[in-house]
Chains A and B, each alone.
Chain A
């Protein structure tokens, strides 16, 4: 177990709705990264939050947004859901002061968009 927890574990939404996914980082970690893993593919980087600010973003549209809180937990928000948003969403935490550190992943939130 990595100590990174995500909620909810599974959820079903319909196209056009909005969703919020939550992540609690591992103790001592100040950075949270979010990834989208579509079925049969490797994880794709969405964005990273460090000290409550976004400081890196992948090739995802603005309807993917996030927050990081003072306790370093984080939310991923997706607006105007599309069918292709169906995926496993992974949160990973790390320590921003160590540039060579590995990421510690949670179990993921599986989103199904109907």
Chain B
């Protein structure tokens, strides 16, 4: 079975400071990993994914994530946070043998960026 843990319900950061949102995963084989963002009363927007290759993945809006196989982690990072980055962030994992539309999502981390 696959699972995702986002250990922080909320992350608070001042605008201009680095932002990190943590995610750890558990799958039986090699993982496909994703980050999505959700704004209030909206659907999910894709940020980035790790499939294979370079452990540092760059995505939309200046976000990046680092895949660490030994720690089974896929933390989302942004060097300089903006107030507009305030939203709900979800990490998701898919087993490479699973249905391609079936993602296991974490519970989400609320990011609050203060001016």
Chain A interfacial positions (CB closer than 8 Å to B): 2, 4, 31-33, 41-45, 48, 50, 55-56, 58, 90, 92, 94, 96, 98-108, 110
Contacts and interface: CB of A to CB of B under 8 A. Distances in A.
Contacts of B42: 107-108
Nearest to A99: B100
B103 interface: yes
Interface in B56-115: 90, 92, 96, 98-108
Given A90-B43, A100-B32, A48 B51 contact: no
B25 interface: no
Interface residues of B, number: 26
Given A100-B32, A102-B49, A48 B43 contact: no
B34 A102 contact: yes
B44 interface: yes
A48 B91 CA distance: 20
B99 A103 contact: no
11 contacts: A33-B99, A33-B101, A42-B105, A44-B105, A48-B101, A56-B101, A94-B100, A96-B100, A98-B100, A103-B44, A107-B43
